[in-house]
Protein backbone atom coordinates (compact mmCIF):
# COMPACT_ATOMS: atom_id res chain seq x y z
CA UNK A 1 0.00 0.00 0.00
CA UNK A 2 1.41 3.41 -0.92
CA UNK A 3 1.93 6.25 1.53
CA UNK A 4 -0.74 8.22 -0.28
CA UNK A 5 -3.25 5.44 0.29
CA UNK A 6 -2.85 5.52 4.06
CA UNK A 7 -2.87 9.21 5.03
CA UNK A 8 -3.62 8.54 8.69
CA UNK A 9 -0.41 6.60 9.27
CA UNK A 10 2.56 8.63 10.55
CA UNK A 11 4.93 7.20 7.93
CA UNK A 12 4.65 9.61 5.00
CA UNK A 13 7.04 12.45 4.28
CA UNK A 14 5.09 15.55 5.21
CA UNK A 15 5.11 19.24 4.37
CA UNK A 16 5.60 21.92 6.98
CA UNK A 17 2.89 24.50 7.46
CA UNK A 18 4.93 26.94 5.40
CA UNK A 19 5.01 24.65 2.39
CA UNK A 20 8.65 23.64 2.76
CA UNK A 21 9.23 19.89 2.48
CA UNK A 22 9.87 18.38 5.85
CA UNK A 23 13.21 16.61 6.23
CA UNK A 24 12.30 13.17 7.54
CA UNK A 25 15.89 12.48 8.54
CA UNK A 26 15.82 15.35 11.01
CA UNK A 27 12.47 14.23 12.40
CA UNK A 28 14.00 10.80 12.91
CA UNK A 29 16.92 12.31 14.83
CA UNK A 30 14.42 14.09 17.05
CA UNK A 31 12.54 10.85 17.62
CA UNK A 32 15.69 8.95 18.58
CA UNK A 33 16.68 11.75 20.93
CA UNK A 34 13.21 11.76 22.53
CA UNK A 35 13.40 8.04 23.13
CA UNK A 36 16.84 8.44 24.73
CA UNK A 37 15.28 10.91 27.19
CA UNK A 38 12.79 8.20 28.24
CA UNK A 39 15.68 5.87 29.09
CA UNK A 40 17.53 8.62 30.91
CA UNK A 41 14.60 9.64 33.10
CA UNK A 42 13.88 6.02 33.97
CA UNK A 43 17.49 5.67 35.14
CA UNK A 44 17.25 8.94 37.07
CA UNK A 45 14.13 7.70 38.85
CA UNK A 46 15.37 4.23 39.74
CA UNK A 47 19.07 4.62 40.57
CA UNK A 48 19.94 2.12 37.83
CA UNK A 49 22.60 4.22 36.10
CA UNK A 50 25.68 2.06 36.85
CA UNK A 51 23.85 -1.22 36.26
CA UNK A 52 23.09 -0.60 32.59
CA UNK A 53 26.26 1.18 31.56
CA UNK A 54 26.01 0.76 27.75
CA UNK A 55 22.48 2.21 27.59
CA UNK A 56 23.32 4.89 30.15
CA UNK A 57 26.29 5.96 28.07
CA UNK A 58 24.17 6.71 25.00
CA UNK A 59 20.99 7.93 26.69
CA UNK A 60 21.81 10.90 28.86
CA UNK A 61 19.09 13.48 28.28
CA UNK A 62 21.06 16.75 28.29
CA UNK A 63 22.50 16.24 24.82
CA UNK A 64 19.12 15.16 23.44
CA UNK A 65 17.57 18.48 24.48
CA UNK A 66 20.51 20.38 22.95
CA UNK A 67 19.82 18.49 19.73
CA UNK A 68 16.14 19.49 19.95
CA UNK A 69 17.12 23.17 20.03
CA UNK A 70 19.57 22.79 17.12
CA UNK A 71 16.87 21.07 15.07
CA UNK A 72 14.32 23.76 15.93
CA UNK A 73 16.69 26.50 14.80
CA UNK A 74 17.42 24.56 11.60
CA UNK A 75 13.84 23.68 10.67
CA UNK A 76 12.31 27.04 11.60
CA UNK A 77 14.86 28.70 9.31
CA UNK A 78 13.68 26.90 6.19
CA UNK A 79 10.58 29.02 5.38
CA UNK A 80 12.57 32.21 6.05
CA UNK A 81 15.05 31.24 3.34
CA UNK A 82 12.37 31.57 0.67
CA UNK A 83 11.92 34.74 -1.35
CA UNK A 84 8.47 35.18 0.20
CA UNK A 85 9.06 35.00 3.94
CA UNK A 86 6.30 34.22 6.46
CA UNK A 87 4.35 37.06 8.01
CA UNK A 88 5.21 37.29 11.72
CA UNK A 89 1.68 36.92 13.07
CA UNK A 90 1.04 33.92 10.82
CA UNK A 91 4.29 32.38 12.04
CA UNK A 92 3.37 33.02 15.69
CA UNK A 93 -0.13 31.57 15.26
CA UNK A 94 1.25 28.37 13.78
CA UNK A 95 3.97 28.07 16.38
CA UNK A 96 1.58 28.54 19.31
CA UNK A 97 -0.80 25.96 17.86
CA UNK A 98 2.08 23.56 17.21
CA UNK A 99 3.72 23.75 20.63
CA UNK A 100 1.34 25.26 23.16
CA UNK A 101 -1.95 23.49 22.42
CA UNK A 102 -0.49 19.95 22.62
CA UNK A 103 1.44 21.11 25.68
CA UNK A 104 -1.85 21.95 27.44
CA UNK A 105 -3.07 18.39 26.91
CA UNK A 106 0.26 16.94 28.05
CA UNK A 107 0.53 19.03 31.21
CA UNK A 108 -3.11 18.26 32.00
CA UNK A 109 -2.28 14.57 31.97
CA UNK A 110 0.76 15.18 34.18
CA UNK A 111 -1.31 17.09 36.73
CA UNK A 112 -3.86 14.27 36.86
CA UNK A 113 -1.18 11.61 37.40
CA UNK A 114 0.67 13.58 40.09
CA UNK A 115 -2.56 14.56 41.87
CA UNK A 116 -4.42 11.23 41.81
CA UNK A 117 -1.81 8.48 41.32
CA UNK A 118 1.64 9.57 42.55
CA UNK A 119 0.17 10.60 45.88
CA UNK A 120 3.03 9.47 48.12
CA UNK A 121 6.81 9.39 48.01
CA UNK A 122 8.68 6.13 47.54
CA UNK A 123 11.94 6.05 49.53
CA UNK A 124 13.26 3.26 47.29
CA UNK A 125 13.21 5.64 44.34
CA UNK A 126 15.39 8.69 43.78
CA UNK A 127 14.94 12.23 45.12
CA UNK A 128 14.54 13.30 41.49
CA UNK A 129 11.46 11.06 41.23
CA UNK A 130 10.09 12.01 44.63
CA UNK A 131 10.31 15.77 44.11
CA UNK A 132 6.84 15.68 42.53
CA UNK A 133 5.23 12.81 44.46
CA UNK A 134 2.86 13.49 47.32
CA UNK A 135 2.38 17.16 46.41
CA UNK A 136 -1.23 18.32 46.82
CA UNK A 137 -2.86 20.19 43.96
CA UNK A 138 -1.84 23.85 43.94
CA UNK A 139 -4.04 26.15 41.88
CA UNK A 140 -1.46 28.93 41.59
CA UNK A 141 1.22 26.58 40.30
CA UNK A 142 -1.28 24.96 37.94
CA UNK A 143 -2.05 28.41 36.51
CA UNK A 144 1.68 29.03 36.05
CA UNK A 145 1.81 25.88 33.97
CA UNK A 146 -1.33 26.86 32.07
CA UNK A 147 -0.04 30.23 30.89
CA UNK A 148 3.75 29.57 30.91
CA UNK A 149 4.34 33.06 32.25
CA UNK A 150 6.79 34.11 34.94
CA UNK A 151 9.29 32.11 36.94
CA UNK A 152 7.51 28.78 36.68
CA UNK A 153 7.84 25.97 39.24
CA UNK A 154 8.49 23.58 36.37
CA UNK A 155 9.64 20.70 38.59
CA UNK A 156 6.23 20.30 40.20
CA UNK A 157 4.31 18.22 37.66
CA UNK A 158 6.57 17.47 34.70
CA UNK A 159 10.12 18.76 34.87
CA UNK A 160 10.71 18.03 31.18
CA UNK A 161 8.62 21.10 30.29
CA UNK A 162 11.51 23.46 31.04
CA UNK A 163 12.71 22.99 27.46
CA UNK A 164 9.23 23.75 26.10
CA UNK A 165 9.16 26.96 28.11
CA UNK A 166 12.46 27.96 26.54
CA UNK A 167 11.32 26.80 23.10
CA UNK A 168 8.24 29.02 23.22
CA UNK A 169 10.20 32.07 24.35
CA UNK A 170 12.77 31.80 21.58
CA UNK A 171 10.20 30.76 18.97
CA UNK A 172 8.16 33.93 19.46
CA UNK A 173 11.30 35.97 18.77
CA UNK A 174 12.59 33.69 16.05
CA UNK A 175 11.87 35.88 12.98
CA UNK A 176 13.89 38.71 14.54
CA UNK A 177 16.62 36.26 15.54
CA UNK A 178 16.82 34.83 12.02
CA UNK A 179 16.96 38.33 10.52
CA UNK A 180 19.90 39.24 12.78
CA UNK A 181 21.83 36.00 12.26
CA UNK A 182 21.40 36.05 8.48
CA UNK A 183 23.10 39.44 8.30
CA UNK A 184 26.18 38.48 10.27
CA UNK A 185 29.29 36.52 9.40
CA UNK A 186 29.84 33.15 11.04
CA UNK A 187 32.50 34.43 13.40
CA UNK A 188 30.25 37.30 14.52
CA UNK A 189 27.40 34.89 15.25
CA UNK A 190 29.72 32.60 17.19
CA UNK A 191 30.91 35.54 19.28
CA UNK A 192 27.28 36.46 19.96
CA UNK A 193 26.63 32.87 21.04
CA UNK A 194 29.56 33.07 23.45
CA UNK A 195 28.37 36.37 24.90
CA UNK A 196 24.81 35.12 25.41
CA UNK A 197 25.97 31.90 27.04
CA UNK A 198 28.54 33.80 29.09
CA UNK A 199 25.85 36.07 30.55
CA UNK A 200 23.75 32.99 31.34
CA UNK A 201 26.73 31.29 33.03
CA UNK A 202 27.42 34.47 35.00
CA UNK A 203 23.88 34.32 36.34
CA UNK A 204 24.43 30.69 37.31
CA UNK A 205 27.43 31.70 39.40
CA UNK A 206 26.15 35.01 40.82
CA UNK A 207 22.40 34.19 41.02
CA UNK A 208 20.94 37.40 39.60
CA UNK A 209 17.85 35.32 38.93
CA UNK A 210 17.02 32.10 40.79
CA UNK A 211 14.88 29.78 38.71
CA UNK A 212 11.93 28.08 40.41
CA UNK A 213 12.39 25.14 38.07
CA UNK A 214 15.23 23.37 36.31
CA UNK A 215 16.82 25.78 33.81
CA UNK A 216 13.55 27.66 33.29
CA UNK A 217 14.83 31.17 34.08
CA UNK A 218 15.01 34.06 31.63
CA UNK A 219 18.80 34.31 31.91
CA UNK A 220 19.01 30.72 30.73
CA UNK A 221 16.92 31.70 27.70
CA UNK A 222 19.97 33.63 26.50
CA UNK A 223 21.97 30.42 26.42
CA UNK A 224 19.18 28.54 24.64
CA UNK A 225 19.08 31.34 22.06
CA UNK A 226 22.72 30.60 21.25
CA UNK A 227 21.77 26.98 20.41
CA UNK A 228 19.03 28.24 18.07
CA UNK A 229 21.62 30.47 16.41
CA UNK A 230 23.82 27.44 15.73
CA UNK A 231 20.81 25.68 14.21
CA UNK A 232 20.13 28.69 11.98
CA UNK A 233 23.73 28.71 10.77
CA UNK A 234 23.55 24.99 10.01
CA UNK A 235 20.50 25.68 7.84
CA UNK A 236 22.23 28.58 6.08
CA UNK A 237 25.32 26.58 5.23
CA UNK A 238 23.79 23.12 4.86
CA UNK A 239 24.66 22.85 1.15
CA UNK A 240 28.31 23.70 1.76
CA UNK A 241 28.53 21.39 4.75
CA UNK A 242 26.94 18.48 2.87
CA UNK A 243 29.25 19.09 -0.09
CA UNK A 244 32.26 19.12 2.24
CA UNK A 245 31.08 15.92 3.91
CA UNK A 246 30.68 14.12 0.60
CA UNK A 247 34.16 15.18 -0.52
CA UNK A 248 36.09 13.59 2.35
CA UNK A 249 37.27 9.95 2.30
CA UNK A 250 35.16 7.20 3.82
CA UNK A 251 37.70 6.58 6.60
CA UNK A 252 37.61 10.27 7.55
CA UNK A 253 33.81 10.21 7.60
CA UNK A 254 33.85 7.26 9.99
CA UNK A 255 36.44 8.90 12.23
CA UNK A 256 34.55 12.21 12.39
CA UNK A 257 31.29 10.43 13.20
CA UNK A 258 32.94 8.44 15.98
CA UNK A 259 34.53 11.59 17.34
CA UNK A 260 31.16 13.38 17.21
CA UNK A 261 29.48 10.56 19.13
CA UNK A 262 32.15 10.62 21.84
CA UNK A 263 32.13 14.43 22.05
CA UNK A 264 28.32 14.51 22.17
CA UNK A 265 28.22 12.09 25.11
CA UNK A 266 31.37 12.97 27.08
CA UNK A 267 30.49 16.67 27.07
CA UNK A 268 27.38 15.90 29.10
CA UNK A 269 29.52 15.01 32.10
CA UNK A 270 30.86 18.57 32.39
CA UNK A 271 29.50 20.48 35.41
CA UNK A 272 29.78 23.71 33.39
CA UNK A 273 26.62 24.16 31.32
CA UNK A 274 28.49 26.23 28.74
CA UNK A 275 30.98 23.42 28.04
CA UNK A 276 28.39 20.66 28.37
CA UNK A 277 25.97 22.08 25.82
CA UNK A 278 28.49 23.38 23.29
CA UNK A 279 30.26 20.03 23.19
CA UNK A 280 26.95 18.28 22.67
CA UNK A 281 25.98 20.90 20.07
CA UNK A 282 29.16 20.21 18.10
CA UNK A 283 28.34 16.50 18.08
CA UNK A 284 24.70 17.20 17.24
CA UNK A 285 25.70 19.46 14.35
CA UNK A 286 27.72 16.57 12.91
CA UNK A 287 24.70 14.25 13.25
CA UNK A 288 22.57 16.71 11.26
CA UNK A 289 25.15 16.99 8.48
CA UNK A 290 25.59 13.21 8.31
CA UNK A 291 21.82 12.65 8.27
CA UNK A 292 21.43 15.01 5.31
CA UNK A 293 24.65 14.16 3.50
CA UNK A 294 24.95 10.40 3.75
CA UNK A 295 22.72 8.37 1.47
CA UNK A 296 23.08 5.29 3.67
CA UNK A 297 22.28 7.10 6.91
CA UNK A 298 19.43 8.97 5.24
CA UNK A 299 17.89 5.74 3.94
CA UNK A 300 18.04 4.21 7.42
CA UNK A 301 16.50 7.27 9.06
CA UNK A 302 13.69 7.25 6.48
CA UNK A 303 12.62 3.71 7.39
CA UNK A 304 9.10 3.50 8.85
CA UNK A 305 10.18 2.86 12.43
CA UNK A 306 12.29 6.00 12.55
CA UNK A 307 9.75 8.06 10.63
CA UNK A 308 7.16 6.96 13.18
CA UNK A 309 9.45 7.98 16.05
CA UNK A 310 10.00 11.34 14.38
CA UNK A 311 6.30 12.03 14.00
CA UNK A 312 5.49 11.14 17.61
CA UNK A 313 8.68 12.63 19.10
CA UNK A 314 6.91 15.63 20.66
CA UNK A 315 4.25 13.37 22.14
CA UNK A 316 6.96 11.08 23.55
CA UNK A 317 8.72 14.01 25.18
CA UNK A 318 5.52 15.53 26.57
CA UNK A 319 4.04 12.35 28.00
CA UNK A 320 6.89 10.05 29.00
CA UNK A 321 7.21 11.45 32.53
CA UNK A 322 3.49 11.00 33.14
CA UNK A 323 3.91 7.35 32.14
CA UNK A 324 7.01 6.96 34.32
CA UNK A 325 5.23 8.41 37.37
CA UNK A 326 2.14 6.33 36.68
CA UNK A 327 3.83 2.95 36.29
CA UNK A 328 6.51 3.39 38.96
CA UNK A 329 3.88 4.56 41.46
CA UNK A 330 1.61 1.61 40.71
CA UNK A 331 4.08 -1.19 39.96
CA UNK A 332 7.39 -0.59 41.75
CA UNK A 333 8.79 -2.70 43.42
CA UNK A 334 6.20 -5.35 42.53
CA UNK A 335 7.62 -5.66 39.03
CA UNK A 336 11.37 -5.94 38.36
CA UNK A 337 13.06 -2.96 36.75
CA UNK A 338 13.65 -4.49 33.33
CA UNK A 339 9.96 -5.35 32.70
CA UNK A 340 9.06 -1.94 34.10
CA UNK A 341 11.34 -0.21 31.62
CA UNK A 342 9.87 -2.18 28.73
CA UNK A 343 6.35 -1.39 29.96
CA UNK A 344 7.19 2.32 30.22
CA UNK A 345 8.55 2.41 26.68
CA UNK A 346 5.57 0.48 25.33
CA UNK A 347 2.97 2.60 27.12
CA UNK A 348 4.73 5.81 26.15
CA UNK A 349 4.55 4.81 22.49
CA UNK A 350 0.94 3.65 22.86
CA UNK A 351 -0.02 7.00 24.38
CA UNK A 352 2.04 8.98 21.88
CA UNK A 353 0.41 7.71 18.70
CA UNK A 354 -3.18 8.79 19.52
CA UNK A 355 -1.79 11.98 21.07
CA UNK A 356 -0.09 12.74 17.75
CA UNK A 357 -3.11 11.67 15.72
CA UNK A 358 -5.90 13.34 17.68
CA UNK A 359 -4.21 16.28 19.42
CA UNK A 360 -1.06 17.36 17.60
CA UNK A 361 -2.35 17.05 14.03
CA UNK A 362 -5.63 18.86 14.76
CA UNK A 363 -3.65 21.60 16.54
CA UNK A 364 -1.44 22.01 13.46
CA UNK A 365 -4.54 22.06 11.25
CA UNK A 366 -6.09 24.69 13.48
CA UNK A 367 -3.01 26.87 13.03
CA UNK A 368 -3.28 26.52 9.27
CA UNK A 369 -7.01 27.29 9.37
CA UNK A 370 -6.51 30.42 11.47
CA UNK A 371 -3.83 31.68 9.08
CA UNK A 372 -6.04 31.03 6.03
CA UNK A 373 -8.95 32.79 7.73
CA UNK A 374 -6.75 35.74 8.59
CA UNK A 375 -5.58 35.96 4.99
CA UNK A 376 -9.18 36.02 3.76
CA UNK A 377 -9.96 38.87 6.11
CA UNK A 378 -6.79 40.80 5.22
CA UNK A 379 -5.37 39.78 1.80
CA UNK A 380 -2.30 41.96 2.45
CA UNK A 381 -0.95 39.08 4.55
CA UNK A 382 -1.41 36.44 1.87
CA UNK A 383 1.16 33.62 1.86
CA UNK A 384 1.66 30.56 -0.26
CA UNK A 385 0.00 27.73 1.64
CA UNK A 386 0.79 24.02 1.25
CA UNK A 387 -1.68 21.98 -0.76
Which pLDDT belongs to residue 56?
61
148 vs 167 pLDDT, higher one: 167
Least confident of 28-32, 150-154, 192-196, 226-230: 150-154
Which pLDDT belongs to residue 20?
40
* 74-96 average pLDDT score: 91
* 202-231 average pLDDT score: 93
Residues whose CB is less than 8 angstroms from the CB of residue 114 and which lie 6 or more positions away in sequence, other chains included = 132, 133, 135, 156, 157, 325
pLDDT tops 80 at residue 127: yes
Q: What is the pTM of this model?
A: 0.90
Query: 10 pLDDT band (50/70/90 cuts)?
Result: very low
Which pLDDT belongs to residue 263?
93
Distance (Å, rounded) from C-alpha 77 to C-alpha 94?
A: 14
pLDDT tops 50 at residue 232: yes
* 119-140 average pLDDT score: 87
Cα torsion 121, 125, 127, 132 to 10°: value is -40
Task: Please choose, from the candidates 114, 77, 381, the residue with its C-alpha nearest in 3D space to the C-alpha of residue 233.
Answer: 77
Report whether 201 contacts 273 (CB < 8 A).
yes
pLDDT tops 90 at residue 242: yes
What would the pLDDT profile of 247-290 be if each residue is shown by its tens digit?
999 999 999 999 999 999 889 888 888 889 999 999 999 999 99
- For the chain, percent of residues with pLDDT exceeding 90: 66
**Angle CA(283)–CA(285)–CA(289) in degrees, nearest 5?**
120
Report whether 311 contacts 361 (CB < 8 A).
no
Query: 375 pLDDT band (50/70/90 cuts)?
Result: confident
Query: 338 pLDDT band (50/70/90 cuts)?
Result: confident
55 vs 29 pLDDT, higher one: 29
Task: Please choose, from the candidates 279, 290, 228, 231, the residue with its C-alpha nearest in 3D space to the C-alpha of residue 255.
Answer: 290
Average pLDDT along the chain: 88
pLDDT tops 70 at residue 48: no
* 28-46 average pLDDT score: 92
Amino acid sequence: MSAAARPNMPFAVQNTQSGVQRLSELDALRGIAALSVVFWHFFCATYTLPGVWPIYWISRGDGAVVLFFLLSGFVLSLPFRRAQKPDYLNFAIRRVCRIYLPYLAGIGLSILVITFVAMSKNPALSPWFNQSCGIPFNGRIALEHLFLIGNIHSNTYNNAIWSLIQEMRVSLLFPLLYWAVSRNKVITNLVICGVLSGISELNTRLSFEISNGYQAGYFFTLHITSLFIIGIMLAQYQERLVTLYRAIPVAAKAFVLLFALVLYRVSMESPVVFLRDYGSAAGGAAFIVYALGSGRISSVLRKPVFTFLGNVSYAIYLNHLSVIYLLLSLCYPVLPLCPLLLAIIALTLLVSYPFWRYIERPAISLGKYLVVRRQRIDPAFKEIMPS
